[in-house]
């Protein structure tokens, strides 16, 4: 098989994989559409609402598990499952801290995944260092800006250190995603940061309630999780293809 035939074969394989992956993601898209169809600003907290809200994330976990197997349980699959727990907790405002804790574990699992051999990072570059610096400055600046509003919260003693740790874990996750140089993974992690920061502005009353504030948070959230899941599947496939090529 010459180089042209090999290249054509690789293109066919990537095309077939993309079609199969898209087909397996259809339940996620349908469940996300169901959430936005049923949600209204007046939606009451309930088990049903929590189930509908967390279903897209759990379906993404099932997709990643079906493609990557058990190796992803302590990685992106685990992060998606903990994110689903966080989704359920955030339905009830009194469980906000519990939800924040669940998402913190999710970010930790994502970070550990981005450090694994599945993601072969590019060598350190000035671009990486610049992005790391920008993200950490953004995280520190946002926490500083949020600090006076956290002090006014009823459970300020818990939120002041808790939110600080959470923003740190979120920032680390974003910087490690950039280190992988996988486009879907980088975009997903950065959009996740945007989603969380938008949610914080609303939860801690930094800005007045926006008409479509919750929609913005959830659209960016589902998109971020989708990109992280797809990025993990592609990273695993790329590693397997490289291993096959090396052994041939």
Tens digit of each residue's pLDDT (9 = 90 or more) over 156-181 = 999 999 999 999 999 999 999 998 88
- The alpha helices in 3-155, defined as continuous H runs, are 3-24, 26-38, 47-68, 76-91, 96-114, 126-151
* Residue 60 belongs to domain spanning: 3-247
Q: Judge whether 113 and 68 are in contact, CB under 8 Å.
A: no
Band of pLDDT at residue 80, cut at 50, 70 and 90: very high
Report if pTM > 0.85. yes
Q: What is the dihedral of CA 10, 15, 19, 24, to 10 degrees?
A: 30
Please give the backbone phi and psi of residue 40, each rounded to the nearest 5 degrees, phi first: -140, 160
Segment 21-41 mean pLDDT = 94
Half-sphere exposure of 186 (CA within 13 A, CB side): 11
Total number of domains in the chain = 1
Other CB atoms within 10 A of residue 185 CB:
27
Q: How does pLDDT run across 195-230, given as a tens digit for each residue?
A: 999 999 999 989 887 778 899 999 999 999 999 999
């Amino acid at each position: 098989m010459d180089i042209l035939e090999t290249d054509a074969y690789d293109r066919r394989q990537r095309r077939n994989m993309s079609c199969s992956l898209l087909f397996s993601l259809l339940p996620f898209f349908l469940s996300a559409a169901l959430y936005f169809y049923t949600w209204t600003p007046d939606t009451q907290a309930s088990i049903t609402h929590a189930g509908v809200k967390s279903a897209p994330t759990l379906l993404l976990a099932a997709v990643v598990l079906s493609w990557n197997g058990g190796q992803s349980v302590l990685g992106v699959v685990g992060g998606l499952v903990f994110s689903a727990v966080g989704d359920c907790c955030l339905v009830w405002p009194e469980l906000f801290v519990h939800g924040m804790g669940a998402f913190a574990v999710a970010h930790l699992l994502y970070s550990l995944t981005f450090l694994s051999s599945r993601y072969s990072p590019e060598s350190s570059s000035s671009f990486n260092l610049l992005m790391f610096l920008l993200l950490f400055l953004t995280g520190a600046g946002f926490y500083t800006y949020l600090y006076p509003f956290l002090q006014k919260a009823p459970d300020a003693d818990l939120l002041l250190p808790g939110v600080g740790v959470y923003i740190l874990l979120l920032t680390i996750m974003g910087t490690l995603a950039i280190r992988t140089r996988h486009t879907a993974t980088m975009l997903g992690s950065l959009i996740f940061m945007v989603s969380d920061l938008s949610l914080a502005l609303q939860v801690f009353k930094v800005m007045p309630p926006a008409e479509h504030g919750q929609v913005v948070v959830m659209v960016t959230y589902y998109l971020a999780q989708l990109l992280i899941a797809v990025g993990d599947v592609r990273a695993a496939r790329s590693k397997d293809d490289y291993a096959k090529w090396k052994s041939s």
